[in-house]
Structure 1
């Protein structure tokens, strides 16, 4: 029931329900849902395949890095005492006894008054304790004049200077980034134990839905949610599969969900979560059928602009978690951020589960429904001298334009009915790579 009035929460009804104490506090609801979940079973992946996955175990350095004393720069490997008195007008002269490339493997040793020409990464000759930069010399080949002294250790990387053997390189719950791949490879690690990225199937329901790319007419609504939520799922780090539109046909819906349990770690539906006559998702999934395992519970939550969220399991062979979101696009995106995204993070074994948040200076007075925790699109900017400013966007979460422009979600608690300009508010930071 994407983008239809019947799936859109009515703020007046929500206010009344909140006043009557009929809504489940959002924090309690999220806690009860997330406690039911477990991270997906771990698997062993080649390091190059692990990017984007979450580590299931702490990773310890198998070897030190560097594995041997080496030159950190191109130059001349020397003894610091041989160049201690070097000066621009009175250079120290050293005999160049050989060249060492990064691939050189034969042991080498310095004697007083000598040096080796070395490339960055080359093993340091025994007795050498400095690498003199080329620019400090006359670049001689058989002998070299050094015009500046260098302190012991200059231009040198010692064994284990960057990573020591047994050092914790990354902890369980850390996402494998390109830089981490490099650090692990440098320490001699070729495989890691990770949680697989969850496979998430997205389904939009409703007889009124038509595919994107055409203009809707009376009785038709363009399917927005399956496209938006597929993108949001991918951004959350999961493998996203857009199934598309499912009509309000009970048997078709049952068959579709049963089929998708064979390839999904999580199913997300939009639409049909209300109590109207056409809200098929709630009617079908909230009934326990003796031939089918699992059941979905639909809960009225103190959340605006969502109101009702569904969570449970589906599937006869294997129970798969399912999240049921409202059909109105803005509410569906908020519901995804509040519920579906944390579920994905738990399945992936990621930490932290929730997006980062900051406190910022509100630039405009806003009103909020009493008894509801409101999430409102906003622009967050860093202030000169530190801190943040928060500019609420017009239209709230009900307008896709506001959600598209936002880089944060202003959070107003259940007890807040008005937040004055200049007050300090909480805001979740959305993806800020734009």
Structure 2
């Protein structure tokens, strides 16, 4: 669990986006490293460099099914005048390389991945030979089906081969003593493959953060159920759970909690056992039923010193009401987001995603930003003193708004892959102007 610093008293003022984010990142700490087996380490972040103990591949080996030969013995070979070589034996994958020797006028039948035997300088693919039948060239499928005694004897090679042809050199991938992976690397499938290939069964990583997501509101109904009068489907918890997983977390979605402070407080307390971070959505404004504020405003009074959640007004649109603090004996961070779908998602991208990436121990926790030319039918307007984030589609140096500015427009959000950022001191942006863009994809 992360350890939170004592929370300052809430101030009745307008916080900037940067101030709120800085406060979050100054409080959240990377999770403690643990040792994990490779299958469990996917998505985790390395906390130390991994060195290569043995070269990869560890020996010269064949990249083809064929015959290991000496270059001089196949020089000038052709369909009309093939090189006839004595087959001295087979070399299979997993077999020791020194069980046989290829001398002048000799060849060894070799399988893909098998070690190159002493004396051999190259591999000729089976398609370049008669497959040891004493006839013309044979298909690779037919040659692979031959029993060893059928292929023993002699083989005719119909093409020359250069030195090291179809040979994977020892250490051609990585050499012993090289650095395989740097600390800070996120372990995806290719990195797991490399670790396994160099013989690592365990790695030291920061675990993926466990994030609990819950929506609040008595009007919320789960998808698949029938809507009653005045009810809507709960989309926020699904969106934020998916976003948390996309950020690298292990995310748990809790069913929507009704507008009851005691129920919400009890639900959150029950979830702390599996949470490194708690995210709520809804109930942080000034309405009569904003139960998140009611449930958590004074939670620090009963918890250990320094715990508690502050509710703030931010100079941004959408997403003005926000809450942040820590709860429970382990001071688990909690971010309380607005309930409108767009406000909730934008707030996640700006505040929750960086918190998750910080828990993971990553150096760069922010989405990439670019400058792009605004494509729009008319000027964009923005309230003075607010940093506005508009859903947008970005492509090839240009960006266009998607949907309106309403915080409830989920359909427009589904077609956006970026956010246009309009600074606090800008009230209008003309088409063709260059704007800052946060890339979400």
Pairwise same-fold verdict (TM > 0.5)? yes
Rounded Cα–Cα distance in structure 2 between residues aligned with 1:147 and 1:362: 64
State the 1:175 CA deviation.
Answer: 2.2
Q: Deviations over 1:24-64 (max 9, x none)?
A: 33234322311221121222121122222222322222221
Farther off after superposition, 262-271 or 224-233: 224-233
Whether 1:84 and 2:101 are equivalent positions in the alignment is no
Rounded Cα–Cα distance in structure 2 between residues aligned with 1:87 and 1:415: 78
Farther off after superposition, 259-268 or 328-337: 259-268
State the 1:428 CA deviation.
Answer: 3.1
Residue pair 1:257, 1:314 contacting (<8 A) in 2 also: no
Match of residue 266 from structure 1: 277
| 1:333-412 correspondence runs (5 A) | 333-364=345-376, 365-369=378-382, 370-381=384-395, 387-396=396-405, 398=407, 399-412=409-422
State the 1:401 CA deviation.
Answer: 0.2
Rounded Cα–Cα distance in structure 2 between residues aligned with 1:423 and 1:295: 43
Change (3 A) 1:408 1:249: same
Q: Deviations over 1:349-406 (max 9, x none)?
A: 245322334444433255142433332222233xxxxx34423212246210011122
| 1:225-304 correspondence runs (5 A) | 225-287=236-298, 289-293=300-304, 294-304=307-317
Match of residue 41 from structure 1: 32
Farther off after superposition, 278-287 or 44-53: 278-287
Of 98, 114, 123 in structure 1, the residue corresponding to residue 106 of structure 2 is 114
TM-score, length-scaled by structure 2? 0.83
Rounded Cα–Cα distance in structure 1 between residues aligned with 2:165 and 2:430: 57
Match of residue 11 from structure 1: none
State the 1:87 CA deviation.
Answer: 4.2
Q: Deviations over 1:151-178 (max 9, x none)?
A: 2222111111101123222223322222
Change (3 A) 1:397 1:428: farther
Match of residue 102 from structure 1: 93
Rounded Cα–Cα distance in structure 2 between residues aligned with 1:150 and 1:28: 68
Structure 2: gaps spanning 5 or more residues: 1-12, 133-150
- Give the SS at the match of 1:262: helix
| 1:90-169 correspondence runs (5 A) | 90-105=81-96, 107=98, 108-140=100-132, 141=151, 142-169=153-180
Farther off after superposition, 72-81 or 407-416: 407-416
Farther off after superposition, 76-85 or 179-188: 76-85
State the 1:113 CA deviation.
Answer: 2.1
Q: Deviations over 1:78-105 (max 9, x none)?
A: 2223333334544333222111111322
TM-score, length-scaled by structure 1? 0.85
CA RMSD of aligned residues (A): 2.4
Q: Which is higher, the Rg of structure 1 or of structure 2?
A: 2
Rounded Cα–Cα distance in structure 2 between residues aligned with 1:153 and 1:351: 43
Change (3 A) 1:359 1:96: farther
Of 406, 419, 423 in structure 2, the residue corresponding to residue 413 of structure 1 is 423
Farther off after superposition, 23-32 or 194-203: 23-32
